[in-house]
Structure formats: structure tokens, C-alpha cells
Amino acid sequence: MSTPSIDLPEPKRQKMAKVIGTHNGTFHCDEALAVFLLRQTPTYRDASLKRTRDPAVLDTCDIVVDVGAVYDETKLRFDHHQRGFTEVFGHGFATKLSSAGLVYKHFGQEVIAHRTLLPADDAKVSLLWLKMYSEFIEAIDGIDNGVSQYPADIAPKYRSRTDLSSRVGALNPWWNQPTDAQTVDAQFEKASALTGAEFLGKLDYYAQAWLPARDLLVASIAASKAGVDPSGKIILFEQFLPWKTHLFELEADEAVAAVAPNQAVYVVYPDEMGGNWRVQAVPLSPESFESRKALPEAWRGLRDEELSKASGIEGGIFIHASGFIGGNKTKEGALKIAQAALAM
């Protein structure tokens, strides 16, 4: 009697993990971050890493960064060392890209959408993508490519060795420590984790604190035009929020011209501590110490009763000697300072 055959299910095929390739030896901030960013995408989340300069080994990798002398998105090769490479991020940025910038340019929006749980085509993803390049990635690109922040004929007055690129560099073994591949690869993983923690920390801040402030600013502008100053010269915030960068971007954005003020002059907001109120002159630019219209010179440097008497506004606390900021005990008093200064 023959034994009946039994149909056994086919064994499940193991999904092959992707492999990221980069160079071995001394590592730098740009490829450490590039590897981390790739591992934040669904495609390369569980990817292993090969650190080598052997072209035959690199050819077996699914994606290669910072080695190989090729930049070709279609071939998933992202190096920036080859002769003639001039790629920049675009969108007004002119710094030559490192491997971090290259990977961020092509995968950054995917990383941000995944982290923030926003749809990839959400306008906020694009806004965060540009913000993170400006505030985080560009410096890494510039340092790795030897792009100075200052003209060559200006010597820095002091040195800084606490930037992210310097801290990654310090994770390389010292000259008198072991430099075998296993040791250096382990240090590279520490470097990649370091860059990633800083990247995600910065991204979380911009997504969860900086970006919501933009919506509050837009709402405050509309409310202020309706109830405080129809010209938009004075903006009232009911709570403190980071406003400078958002304000300048909104003023320059034609898409929001209907709610953005035309050259706001003063902002009024509650002090973060103490229950008092501040009135601040809008600067000429987010980094400028000069104001579009400083508070009146006759009030500058005055405090308390002397200020109240000079201005005719009760509750005076101070006007800074440069006129860029002042304080009052009440919201109404701060608004009066702004309104009187605007009229003077």
C-alpha cells in the first residue's frame, strides 16, 4: 500500500534586509547622519551596514553614501567627492552638498512625514524639510566641504569644537587606540546614533513647538487687525510664542498676504514670568539688533514712575536704552505704549 502524499506548504521566503554601504576608516558627521536618515525610512529601516572602499563589495550594496565617486539617484549612489560635483539643495541655498545633504534632499521629506505622522504631500512637511535644512543640515554640508562661514581674510577670534561635526570626529579612535575594523565600525554606529538623536530632537522641536507657533501668529494677526490695529502695524499675542522668523516669512509669502501684516512695527505679548506685558519693536531682520521703529527716544532708559510720567501711560516698568523693547504692568498699558509710539 502506497503512502498518501501530503501537500506541505511552501516555506515562507525570508525578506532580505537591505544593505547600506559607506567608506571604512575615519568617519565624519555627514555619512554618519546619512546612514541614520536612511534607517528612518521604511525601505532601509532594518538595513545592515558595510563600511568599505572595495568597489566590488560596494556594488553588492543596495545604496551607497559618501564613497564611490558617483552621484546618481536612479542608481542609489550618493557621493560628493568626485571631480565636477556641484550639487546644491536649491530653494535659495547655495552650499555644496555632502552625503548628508544628498540623502536629506532625496529622502528628507519621507523621514519627516514618517516622524510627524503627516501625509507626505502636506505643506507642513515641505516647510519642515526646508527649515531643517536651513537650521541643521546645511552646516554639516558646509563643514564637510570646507565652506567657511566667513570671508577667508577674517580670522575667527576663538575656536569652537562643540559643534556636531566636531563631536562626531572625536568619536574616532585616538592615534594610540585600536583601529581595527570592528572597533571603528562600533564607534561609527555611536556617531550615527549621536547625529540621529540631535536631528530628531531638532525636528521634534520644529514640528511640535515652532510650527504650531506659525498658526498662532496667523490667528493673532487676523485678531489684531480686527480688534487692535486695522493697519497690521501692531500685533497682540495672548501668549508668548517664537514669532520673528514666522513673521518675516509670512510678510514675504504672497499666498498669505491676506492675513500677513504689511510691515508690522510692534508686537505686544505677556511676559513669560511675573504677569507683566512687553512691547517689542520688530527688527529689520530676524537676526538684526536694529528695529523698524524703535520705541521713542524720549522714553528710553526710563523706569517705573519716571516712565509713566514721561509717557502719560500708567503702569510703566521700563523702556530699554536702545528702544527695542519695553514693559508695562498690564496688557492695556503695553498696547497704549505701542499705539503712542506708532503715532509719534
Residue-by-residue pLDDT tens, the chain, 344 positions: 444 455 555 555 456 789 999 999 999 999 999 999 999 999 999 999 999 999 999 999 999 999 999 999 999 999 999 999 999 999 999 999 999 999 999 999 999 999 999 999 999 999 999 999 999 999 999 999 999 888 888 888 888 899 999 999 999 999 999 999 999 999 999 999 999 999 999 999 999 999 999 999 999 999 999 999 999 999 999 999 999 999 998 888 765 555 544 689 999 999 988 789 999 999 999 888 899 999 999 999 999 999 999 999 999 999 999 999 999 999 999 999 999 999 99
Which residue reads 521703529 in cell numbers? 293
The number of CA neighbours under 13 Å toward the Cβ of 42 is: 4
In terms of Cα–Cα distance, which of 325, 79, 37, 73 is closest to 195?
37
3-state secondary structure of 245: helix
Report which residue type is found at 43.
T
Q: What is the structure's pLDDT at 156?
A: 83
Please give the Cα distance from 284 to 281 (Å, whole number): 9
The alpha carbons of the chain give a radius of gyration, in whole angstroms, of 27
Q: What are phi and psi of 283, to 5 degrees?
A: -75, 170
Instruction: Give the number of other CB atoms < 10 A from CB of residue 134.
Output: 15
What is the reported pTM? 0.85
Q: What are phi and psi of 174, to 5 degrees?
A: -65, 165
